[in-house]
Amino acid sequence: MDPRVTVNFVCQRCTQPIHLDAGFSHLNEHTLAELALPIYQGEDVEFDPSELDKLVPPLRLTDSGHHPHGFTLVGESHDTEKTQPLKVVTGLYDLVSSNSDIDHPLCEECTDALLDLMDTTLSRTQKQAQMSQQLLASLNKIPDEDVSSLENELRSLKLEEERLISELAEVESEQEAVQATYEKHEEQRARLEDEEDRYWREYCSHKYQLTVMEDENRSLKNQLHYTQNQLERLKKTNVFNTTFHIWYSGHFGTINNLRLGRLPTVPVTWPEINAAWGQTVLLLASLARKIGLKFSKYRLVPFGNHSYIEVIGENRELPLYGSGGFRFLWDTKFDAGMVAFLECVAEFQQYVEAQGGQSAKFCLPYRINKHFIEDPTSNNSLSIKMQFNSEEQWTKALKFLLTNLKWGLTWVSSSLFCNSQVES
């Protein structure tokens, strides 16, 4: 084992290893005594902590061992010749560190930085001392009167300070009251804002409902106006004229554009004649039902192109349709049916002409006598039968028949219109 002693020292400020001069191992007693003296006497000088770097705790001999910045002794402890210099050096460092605020050892760079800091602190302290001396000298030059006046002014300022403090307390209390009032008003403002928001939501909802109701109201008014116009138009509309259009086409009377009759030069087909008879029977049956007229001997049965008339009490049917050509010897049932129909028209004519007073009497243009229709212009009577009759006379009689029905249709429509006016 190497008997030498290895000692490692580090700077207490930057923790860097340092190399000691050999002269530290040989110091006499006088040098140690001088080093033991305090570095400065009198009041302690405080350094500015902001100007000091981070200091590392001082290194003591008793701290060696497991300390990361300590040192280790290797060899026999009874070797006094080799351990004596170490004791001297460590004792020196402990002595210097105990007499100052700076821990040792320090490296050369940290020592220079520390010296610069101490010079700066010294110059600042000297300036402060100089300023204090100047202030003391200026105070010593002030006369006693000025001192008393300053004392009076100081007392007045203290009184003013007390007054201002009391006023400040009052202002603070007022501020607290104002703050409480402000918080109360803030709560009220928040509540009012909530109420305003709720009001606007309700207003928008009601406004929307009002808009919808106004739209519905306008729509209903438009529908009502349209319905009223339609009602007025329908009131003025002659439903019988619309349903049963009676007119003429040359020598033929027509109902719904169906010709009723035949001519040698215009051979109308029997299906068209039968259909025209069906429309004629339906018209007279509708008019009679509308005015409440019941025929005494017959009952009209509209059945399209096969319409017929029932003889009441005899269980007998009289057809109002044909199927053959025109000849003198004809099926008497068809002629009987046409005569029965003409009797029904005569009853309808009597009922119509019996309504109203003498001044308002309504007459159909052609008179009916049994199976004849009288022509007032020529005073001729036209038979509605086909037997022993010409096609021209028969066709003309049917035309007069349709004319009477058209007049009766007009009278029924006008009476219904007057009744509706009276009811409204």
- The full set of domains in the chain, from first to last, is 9-141 (no CATH), 239-423 (1.10.418.40)
Contacts of residue 296, Cβ cutoff 8 Å, sequence gap at least 6? 312, 347
How far apart are the C-alpha atoms of 290 and 129, rounded to whole Å?
138
How many CB atoms are closer than 10 A to CB 93?
21
What average pLDDT is seen over the chain?
79
Looking up tokens 């007279």 gives 284
22 or 377: which leads in pLDDT:
377
Q: What pLDDT is stored for residue 8 in this prediction?
A: 60
> pLDDT per residue over 366-375, tens digit each?
888 888 888 8
How far apart are the C-alpha atoms of 141 and 134, rounded to whole Å?
11
**Residue 297 burial class via C-beta count within 10 angstroms: exposed 0-12, middle 13-18, buried 19 and up:** middle
Nearest to 319 by CA among 336, 298, 297, 295: 336
Mean pLDDT to the nearest integer, 138-162: 82
How far apart are the C-alpha atoms of 384 and 336, rounded to whole Å?
10
Structure tokens at 290: 């509308």
Asked if residue 66 has pLDDT above 80, the reply is: no
Is 0.95 surpassed by the pTM of this model?
no
**pLDDT-based confidence at 74, cuts 50/70/90?**
very low
Three-state helix/strand/coil letters over the chain: CCCCCCCCEECCCCCCEECCCHHHHCCCHHHHHHHHCCCCCCCCCCCCHHHCCCCCCCCCHHHCCCCCCCCCCCCCCCCHHHHHHHHHHHHHHHHHHHCCCCCCCCCHHHHHHHHHHHHHHHHHHHHHHHHHHHHHHHHHHCCHHHHHHHHHHHHHHHHHHHHHHHHHHHHHHHHHHHHHHHHHHHHHHHHHHHHHHHHHHHHHHHHHHHHHHHHHHHHHHHHHHHHHHHHHHHHHCCHHHHHCCEEEECCEEEECCEEECCCCCCCCCHHHHHHHHHHHHHHHHHHHHHHCCCCCCEEEECECECCEEEECCCCEEEECCCCCCCCCCCCHHHHHHHHHHHHHHHHHHHHHHHCCCCCCCCCCCCCEECCEEEECCCCEEEECCCCCCCHHHHHHHHHHHHHHHHHHHHHHHHHHHHHHHHHC
Q: What pLDDT is stored for residue 391 in this prediction?
A: 87
Greatest mean pLDDT range, 38-52, 140-154, 246-260, 375-389: 246-260
Asked if residue 73 has pLDDT above 80, the reply is: no
Q: What pLDDT is stored for residue 324 in this prediction?
A: 65
378 or 351: which leads in pLDDT:
351
Q: Are 332 and 320 in contact (CB under 8 A)?
A: no
How far apart are the C-alpha atoms of 374 and 400, rounded to whole Å?
9
> Which range among 25-29, 174-178, 256-260, 350-354 shows the weakest confidence by mean pLDDT?
25-29
> Which range among 45-54, 116-125, 224-233 shows the weakest confidence by mean pLDDT?
45-54
Q: Are 386 and 321 in contact (CB under 8 A)?
A: no
> Which range among 166-170, 175-179, 235-239 shows the weakest confidence by mean pLDDT?
235-239
> pLDDT per residue over 227-249, tens digit each?
999 888 777 766 777 788 888 88
Between the CA atoms of 347, 349, 351 and 355, what dihedral angle is there, to the nearest 10 degrees? -170
Q: What pLDDT is stored for residue 2 in this prediction?
A: 47
What is the Cβ-side half-sphere exposure of residue 341, based on CA atoms within 13 angstroms?
35
Q: What pLDDT is stored for residue 51 in this prediction?
A: 46
How far apart are the C-alpha atoms of 402 and 368, rounded to whole Å?
13
166 or 423: which leads in pLDDT:
166
Greatest mean pLDDT range, 21-35, 119-133, 369-383, 386-400: 119-133
How many CB atoms are closer than 10 A to CB 105?
22
Looking up tokens 């004629």 gives 280
CA 167 to chain centre: 57
Asked if residue 197 has pLDDT above 90, the reply is: yes
Q: What pLDDT is stored for residue 389 in this prediction?
A: 83
Task: Return phi, psi of residue 389, to 5°.
Answer: -140, 155
48 or 61: which leads in pLDDT:
48
Asked if residue 284 has pLDDT above 80, the reply is: yes
